[in-house]
């Protein structure tokens, strides 16, 4: 069972539909015990960093997520969910994240249109089971105004170019992040989710 954490983010139905296509059972939950009992966790994301962290903290889920991640349970962050893994975000202020990964989140440079909405290619930085059977450059769908701008290079597995380098796939141990929306990225997105599930099973 995959626990999708319900902190008020939108776009959950398309994620569950994508998991259904892979015959992966999922549940949308805020129940700490369900999260603890799940085989893996997904932190989805559409919305503002502060609002998301406020909701997670108010529901008492921040410590649950941190403990489960520290125990080695696989956890995937999608879009805002990936950004929440980092230490800080400077989205309309200065906000503390979950700190599962080292680094910060800042606004995309204003040399390009913000928000970044649409299809962009991903360039691989290193090999991973997550990227198995995917071409060297593949297209995925982005919707975001903020991105990780400092991180540990060893955790960077894929990036795109949009006003500079935008970290798009990160992975450190059992913690994986995708800045784009795999559930909206067609067959490539389904393949990424399939690879992720095979990697953690």
Dist. CA 134–CA 103, nearest whole Å = 27
Classify 100 as helix, strand or coil: coil
DSSP string, 27-85: EEE--HHHHHHSSEEEE---S-HHHHHHHHHHTT-HHHHHHHHHTT--EEEETHHHHHT
User: Which listed residue (91, 116, 125, 183) is catalytic?
Assistant: 183
Q: Which of 116, 125, 144, 181 is catalytic?
A: 181
Alpha helices in the chain (DSSP H): 12-21, 32-37, 49-58, 62-70, 80-84, 186-200
Question: Annotated catalytic, 181?
Answer: yes
Residue 183 appears among annotated catalytic residues: yes
Q: Which of 68, 79, 116, 197 is catalytic?
A: 79
Q: Let me know if 96 is a catalytic residue.
A: no
Decide: residue 34, CB within 10 A, 0-12 exposed, 13-18 middle, 19+ buried: middle
Report residue 85 as tokens: 């893994």
Which positions are annotated as active-site residues? Answer: 79, 181, 183
């Amino acid at each position: 069972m995959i626990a999708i954490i319900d902190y008020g983010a939108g776009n959950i139905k398309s994620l569950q539909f994508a998991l259904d296509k892979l015959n992966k059972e999922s549940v949308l939950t805020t129940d700490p015990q369900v999260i603890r009992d799940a085989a893996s966790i997904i932190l989805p994301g559409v919305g503002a960093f502060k609002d998301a962290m406020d909701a997670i903290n108010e529901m008492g889920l921040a410590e649950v997520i941190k403990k489960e991640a520290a125990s080695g349970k696989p956890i995937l962050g999608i879009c805002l969910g990936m950004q929440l893994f980092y230490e800080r975000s400077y989205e309309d202020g200065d906000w503390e994240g979950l700190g599962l990964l080292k680094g910060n989140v800042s606004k995309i440079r204003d040399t390009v249109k913000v928000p970044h909405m649409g299809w962009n290619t991903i360039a691989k930085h290193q090999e991973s089971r997550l990227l198995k059977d995917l071409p060297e450059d593949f297209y995925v769908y982005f919707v975001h105004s903020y991105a990780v701008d400092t991180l540990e290079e060893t955790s960077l597995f894929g990036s795109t170019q949009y006003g500079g380098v935008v970290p798009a796939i990160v992975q450190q141990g059992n913690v994986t992040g995708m800045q784009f929306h795999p559930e909206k990225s067609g067959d490539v997105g389904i393949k990424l989710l399939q690879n992720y599930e095979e990697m953690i099973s």
